[in-house]
Structure 1
Amino acid sequence: MDDVGTALERTIDALLDQRRDGATICPSEAARAVDPEGWRELMPAAREAAGRLAAAGGVEVTQRGEVVDVATARGPVRIRRRR
């Protein structure tokens, strides 16, 4: 994992820490926080970071409220703390 991946994981954790229990964030929020100008290019890396955190058990990736595998999900996803 590179420095950007680590920064994205830490940012996802920090953003979730700032939210109420059960709240979600979009991977784009983490990408924007890490690189406000180049966040679009970070979107694949942000989704990968969410996938690593989910595999470690810290978060869940959801789509339309259902837990999904971010590696196979198409379209917008959200990230929340594991329930």
Structure 2
Amino acid sequence: MSETHPPAPTAEPNSPDLETEAAILHLAANAPKGRSIAPEDVARALVDGPDWQARLPRVRRAALRLAHEGRLVIYRKGKPIDPDELRGVYRLGLPSGSDTAGTHDTEGTAD
């Protein structure tokens, strides 16, 4: 029997979460072909200075929401994972058929 999950909540218009989602999608779309992005890349794009690490939980939440919607792939050790299994080090990329599909690097970050 297949386990079903409730839909992930969507971000409110003009919310910081919507800004975070947009940054994730923009960076993933503009990553070199076959490359994924690190969550800290997103956090640094959103926050100048040393406070970017405080943004990592928001990046994680937005990445999970986008992955549940099928708009993002979360990678662990270079392989796509189920968003519900996310823990530790991870990277982000667009789904197959996009400009960033292909081999994904395996370095990442934990938050």
Pair in the same fold by TM > 0.5: yes
Instruction: Tell me by how many angstroms 1:57 deviates.
Output: 0.8
TM-score by structure 1 length?
A: 0.85
2:18 matches 1:6 = yes
Unaligned runs of 5+ residues in structure 2 are 1-10, 97-111
Task: Provide the rounded CA distance (Å) in 1 between the counterparts of 2:27 and 2:69.
Answer: 18
2:65 matches 1:52 = yes
Aligned residues: 83
**Moved >6 Å (runs of 4+):** none
Q: Which has the higher strand share?
A: 1
Determine what percentage of the aligned residue pairs are the same residue: 28
TM-score by structure 2 length?
A: 0.66
Q: Which has the larger radius of gyration?
A: 2
Q: Which has the higher helix share?
A: 1
Unaligned runs of 5+ residues in structure 1 are none
Q: Indicate the RMSD between aligned Cα atoms, in angstroms.
A: 1.6
Q: Measured at CA, do residues 47 and 71 of structure 1 come closer, stay the same or move farther in structure 2, by a change above 3 Å? A: farther
Q: Measured at CA, do residues 44 and 8 of structure 1 come closer, stay the same or move farther in structure 2, by a change above 3 Å? A: same
